[in-house]
Chains A and B, each alone.
Chain A
Amino acid sequence: MPLRAKVATSVSKTAAALSRAAGRGDGSVIGGWIGLKIDPELLSHLASGRAIALVSGTNGKTTTTRLAAAALGVLGPVATNSFGANMPTGHTSALAKAGATPFAVLEVDEHYLARVIDETQPRVVALLNLSRDQLDRAKEVAMMAQMWRTALAGHPDVAVVANADDPMVVWAARGASHITWFSAGQRWHDDSFVCPESGDPIERANGDWWCTGCPLRRPQAQWRVEDDGVIDPRGDWHLVKLQLPGTVNIGNAATALAVAAEFGVRAIEALPRLSTVASIAGRYAQVDRDGRNIRLLLAKNPASWLEAFDMAEQSPTLLSINARDPDGFDTSWLYDVDFSPLHNRPVLITGDRAYDLAVRLEVNGIPFRHVLSFEEAIRSVPPGRLEVIANYTAFQDIRAELDRVN
């Protein structure tokens, strides 16, 4: 590594440690930011010599990254940005902090995928899904798919692991020369009614999909979810035992196994490691407080709300919504979520934008009670399970009340 990169790495690690010591977050952004100021090519230097997998998509990337890193751990030490700091500053910080590891699995914000592919020269890129998320800022879905497609076309040597169920992902991945398809199921279809290739309607039936006007259609998946397990490319079924709830996480496990397989890890070796993952930066964490068992579920956009409802038990449920910068300032997406699964359970609402949620629930015919704090929410429910579903900064606020539970 050039001297400049060494200095930048050292300063980056020190800054991250200082930030942590000062109690200002986990230091995963500030350290990388300073390092990149000193050496703009620091990420390339830090990536060089490692076999790297990148994981990108609208939903599930933090969990899938964590599971893939656990699976690759079979082969040796793995660097990863497990705090969800998924832009180049976070990647730089994660690699600097990890020291020399033979492997890295990095979660990448979908807007930065092209740049991070250029800088890290990954062996594998996993593409999970593309759906609407923070549309007041994010590129709209079709534009994002085009950016991915262009990025991959420039790197024909990269092995792509991609979701066969998402037409936008399939179209974006099509140009790659080495593709492994997985099928993790997709509940959310509202962003892929129209073919990205021809503009014609996309038809769906029995898990299959095809364009009515051009040859684009669902490819055969080599990895797929069946019941509570995963079928590998040889057709063998493996039971997936996770501590994480929901069928969506079986799908994330299938993706992680497909990524690990590109590095030569067999499913049978990786599976015990997947079952050690209990929570990810507070997601799915369970905390006992005042006789209530509080479980934290993060839901950032319509697709992930549907997944959260699938995971949540029939118990009192607190919903919290903010619309700060990391969340996006627009709350219109609330009307893309059907809150009907919350019928017949006590519902509490809170957060900066509780009134938006109140109007939405009223229209949905769901009775609710507005509480002004997390403490009030706990006091308002009987002992037992309290499910908490919150969007990004609302989730971080509640996590802070629970001593930043991991």
Chain B
Amino acid sequence: MSDSTLRIVWIYPDLLSTYGDRGNLLILGRRAAMRGIPVETYSVRSDQPMPSTADIYLIGGGEDGPQALAAQRLINDGGLHRAVNQGAAVLAVCAGYQLFGHSFFAKGTKCPGLGLLDLSSDRGETRAVGEIRGDIDPRLGLPPLSGFENHGGRTHLGPGVAPLARVTAGIGNDGQTEGAWHGKVLGTYSHGPALARNPAIADLLLRWAIGADSLAPVDDTWPERLRAERLAAAGA
């Protein structure tokens, strides 16, 4: 692999891939390739060492058992911590988002998280299921978030992170805020192939990874039609 190649790691697809999470890897790879950026993607299973030198890391959703197992293995491995401390970009989704915090609940037990985002999660009284929409932190300069959420958790943000978005439909962290970000790490409850509806977030991760202020525009006719339809549906 040469230094100009963008390296994207999908963390533990054997444990955390319940809702089409592969989509985020496919979308990032495609959007990089359309800009002529050479890309290598790696699916790192839970029995393999986690590389610490990739540019972007993706972690997805999963059931309680695999979530707890994934957190344990990532803590023991340490590779992801090194990567984040070296400035890698991260998109953490749903169960993967929760385990980036200090703690989360799985199967009724409080489990230690990676502590890479200043937040903690517990159980809500109801499951949050449905369309979600939010206005993204203006400092990120992105259009509204559109997604589908399906989680039983509620997430409490500490002072070391900012909400990714203010919720305008759906629940997110607590009915007010959705997701979190700090440095180049983004977490969201917009689950599964979140980037399908949010190509601007995909491009943000790519810009962070290659250190560019902007990227060449690409034809987003279909993603824009999908976004318009889903943003309107969430408002109904």
Contact = CB atoms under 8 A, between A and B. Distances in A.
B191 interface: yes
B18 A140 contact: yes
Interface string B118-137: 00000000000111000000
A106 B33 CA distance: 51
B26 A334 contact: no
B27 A142 contact: no
A201 B46 contact: yes
B67 to A, nearest CB: 11
A355 B150 contact: no
B15 A136 contact: no
Contacts of A190: 17
Contact of B14 (A135, A194, A332, A335): A194
Interface string B2-33: 00000000000011011111110011001000
B139 interface: no
B46 A335 contact: no
A22 interface: no
Interface stretch (A272-280, A309-317, A358-366, A395-403): A358-366
Max count, chain B CB within 10 A of own CB: residue among A355, A356, A362: A355
Contacts of A362: 222
Secondary structure of the B side of the interface?
mixed
A17 to B, nearest CB: 37
Nearest to B219: A362
A141 interface: yes
B172 interface: no
B15 A335 contact: no
A157 interface: no
A330 B65 contact: no
A333 B225 contact: no
Nearest to A368: B222
Interface string A106-144: 000000000000000000000000001001110011110
A363 B23 contact: yes
**Chain A CB within 10 A, most for which of B19, B131, B222:** B222
A355 B15 contact: no
Contacts of B192: 330, 332, 335
A192 to B, nearest CB: 10
A333 B26 CA distance: 14
Interface in B46-66: 46-47, 63, 65-66
Q: Chain A binding site: helix, strand, loop or mixed by DSSP?
A: helix
B210 interface: no
Given A142-B65, A193-B14, A335-B22, A358 B222 contact: yes
A382 B169 CA distance: 45
A332 B197 CA distance: 11
Contacts of A383: none
Contacts of B75: none
A77 B225 CA distance: 53
B100 interface: no
Interface string A134-159: 01110011110000000000000000
Nearest to B147: A332
Contacts of A143: 63
Contacts of B130: 136, 329
B23 A136 contact: no
Contacts of B225: 355, 358
A335 B26 contact: yes
B47 A332 contact: no
Nearest to A356: B226
Interface string B195-210: 0110000000000000
Interface in B132-146: none
A199 interface: yes
A363 B69 contact: no
A208 interface: no
Contacts of B150: 135-136, 330
B169 to A, nearest CB: 14
Given A201-B14, A332-B191, A359 B148 contact: no
Contacts of B229: 355
Interface string A160-203: 00000000000000000000000000000010011000010100
Contacts of A329: 129-131, 148
B235 interface: no
B38 interface: no
Interface of B: 14-15, 17-23, 26-27, 30, 46-47, 63, 65-66, 69, 129-131, 148, 150, 191-193, 196-197, 222-223, 225-226, 229
Given A194-B65, A330-B19, A363-B27, 15 more contacts: A132-B18, A135-B150, A141-B63, A142-B63, A201-B14, A329-B129, A330-B150, A332-B20, A335-B196, A355-B225, A355-B226, A356-B196, A359-B222, A362-B222, A363-B26
12 contacts: A194-B15, A199-B65, A199-B69, A201-B47, A330-B148, A332-B148, A355-B222, A355-B229, A359-B196, A363-B26, A363-B27, A363-B30
Interface of A: 132, 135-137, 140-143, 190, 193-194, 199, 201, 329-336, 355-356, 358-360, 362-364
